[in-house]
Amino acid sequence: MPGEIPVPPPLASRVTLYLRLIYKEVQYWLVGLTPEHYHHYQAGILSELLRFDGAIKHYRAYLKLTDDPHVRANLGMLLGTVSRWAEALTEYERAFIKWRHPAVRLAIAEAHLRLGNSTEASRLIGLVNEEECRQSDALRKARSELLAEIDSAAEPVAAGRMRED
């Protein structure tokens, strides 16, 4: 959610992740993994390595085979990470059709906010009630950060109007 900056893993972890990529590639071609498993696994490892374009490619390949709303939400998250908010919004909305989770609604709100539609973002955040956020500290934190960002963006506008009067 807002303000999270990806940090590259330490060198030893990167080496291990690259070895896992190679191993899974060999398994795919020699043993015969399902394409869905292969693409999902590769996307996860590539996103850990901060190779988001490769991860996006694999998630899209997965979604051509199977429409899983969790994977679609992950794709939206990666698209948002690389500031492709219009595409992220589309993926989040498609995921929300099948998976009506408050985290997905907050992700849609964040995408609207990043695209400059704070009114719609505020409306969507309002639909995620406190009761739903009690399930998770991460949900509660994301909701409050988005609300704070909307409020801070509205303050300069309100101050400008006061000066004009």
Evaluate whether 72 touches 42 at the Cβ level (below 8 Å).
no
Retrieve residue 40's tokens.
Answer: 């999902």
65-85 pLDDT per residue, tens: 999 999 999 999 999 999 999
Classify 128 as helix, strand or coil.
coil
Global pTM reads 0.82
Question: Where does the pLDDT of residue 164 fall: very low under 50, low under 70, confident under 90, or very high at 90 and above?
Answer: low
Percent helix, percent strand, percent coil in the chain, to nearest 5:
80, 0, 20
